[in-house]
Amino acid sequence: MNAVIFAVLTMLVLSLLRTHVVIALLIGALVGGLTGGLSLQATIDAFNAGIGGGANVALSYALLGGFAVAIAQSGLPHALASRMVVMLGQNPHPTRVRHIKNAMLLLILLVAISSQNIMPIHIAFIPLLIPPLLLAMSKMRLDRRLVACVLTFGLVTPYMFLPVGFGGIFLNEILLNNISKGGLDVSGISIIEAMSIPALGMLAGLLVAVFISYRGKRIYDTKRIQAVETTEHSYSRKNIVIALLAIALAFVTQLYTNSMVIGAMLGFILFSVTGVVRWRDSDSLLTDGMKMMATIGFIMIAAAGFAQVLKETGEIASLVSSSVAIIGDNKPMAAFLMLLVGLLITMGIGSSFSTIPIIAAIYVPLAMQLGFSPLAIVALVGTAAALGDAGSPASDSTLGPTAGLNVDGQHNHIWDSVVPTFLHYNLPLLAAGWFAAITL
């Protein structure tokens, strides 16, 4: 069996058996390295070389965690949560509950989409927005798996479809740039046209989750929520205004410096100098925020090491080559196998941004040889990379929702975030990407 398949399956099976994702990634990396022909020491060296690539992201999320805690300290998220609890009342009418639930889901979706372009802070908003809303969700008996699907849709679809914010990086700087390096002239290609059908696949998955899979009620233990979150927070208009200014400052700083770390730091400093966060409490508050995001950071560091081991084995190219031998000149089969391999690679690495440089160099010449159009090649490579971002245990698109929804221990990362998002997004995205590749 190919070492990439062996490593990814090992990681996924261990994760499904509720092994911690970091341990699953470590064991998967060792299995992949050893079955790929590397010695134990070479595997360890490759893993150690790779983990440095995740350090910057981990530091960014750690500081964004501190910034998120400071925003929560201002009372802004709790003001929103309190308003929703008041709107629900003691015995709300079912129609009223439905309207408030739909409004909440729409708000969460819009914020998630905005986090990719208008306010590019990615998943950092989740631990500050979602926990205060858990009590209101519980009163409405809202299934958190639905919220996880809504969040993941908002985190993934904008960057794979709209060339703004993170989408500008993914589509223009990474996707088109690497396709161009593969020998295809990308001038004049409409990236939105190429990725519109895959994006519709994501939308179909969201609609199924909202109107079919998770439309029913699910009961959560309110006492466990109240033990970690309460809407009885004191907040003033001044604090909320400062919180909004801090968010704006972090946003503008990121645009000018292209650094989430600097943006989060300046936002946190604003909270401190204005007194929203007392100076003597700033150290412990920042530490609490780092703890909150530490799990995500460590998983992403481990995922970077895992990816480096797979690269060192050389088995990714072997996996693609063996797929080519099966394909022949069958375009529909070629599109399907290339998408399937992309799904497997991204599920293991956990990052669609990191997958493109690996697959583009091989996929582009192959697709050109088989006669795929330029639009179809862009859709094929872009979809192959995005596949697996939703539904990977090591992806921030699933780790982020879990960080917000599991503060009371009632939302399992694998079974309540990973499995639902895998089923609702990877399967329709696979179908939509295949359709785009053979019709464009």
pTM metric for this prediction:
0.75
Closest CA to 387 of 432, 334, 330, 420: 432
- Cite the DSSP H helix spans in 176-278: 177-181, 191-208, 222-228, 237-257, 260-273
DSSP conformational letter for 123: G
Closest CA to 151 of 122, 190, 109, 179: 109
With beta carbons less than 8 A apart as the criterion, state whether 387 and 339 touch.
yes
Task: Give every CB contact of residue 96 below 8 A, 6+ residues apart in sequence.
Answer: 87, 88
Task: Give every CB contact of residue 390 below 8 A, 6+ residues apart in sequence.
Answer: 152, 153, 156, 202, 397, 398, 421, 422, 424, 425, 426, 429
Per-residue pLDDT of the chain (440 residues; tens, 9 = 90+): 678 778 878 877 887 776 777 788 888 888 888 888 888 888 888 888 877 655 666 666 666 667 767 776 776 666 666 666 666 665 666 777 788 888 889 988 988 888 777 666 677 778 777 888 888 888 888 999 999 999 999 989 988 888 876 777 788 877 888 788 777 888 888 888 999 999 999 999 999 999 999 988 899 988 888 777 655 556 677 777 887 788 778 777 776 776 667 777 787 788 878 877 777 766 777 776 676 666 666 766 777 777 778 778 877 667 766 766 676 677 888 888 888 888 877 776 666 776 776 677 677 877 887 888 989 999 998 898 888 778 888 787 888 899 889 888 899 988 999 999 999 999 999 999 999 999 98
Closest CA to 228 of 87, 72, 86: 72
259: left (phi over 0), alpha (psi -120 to 50) or beta: beta
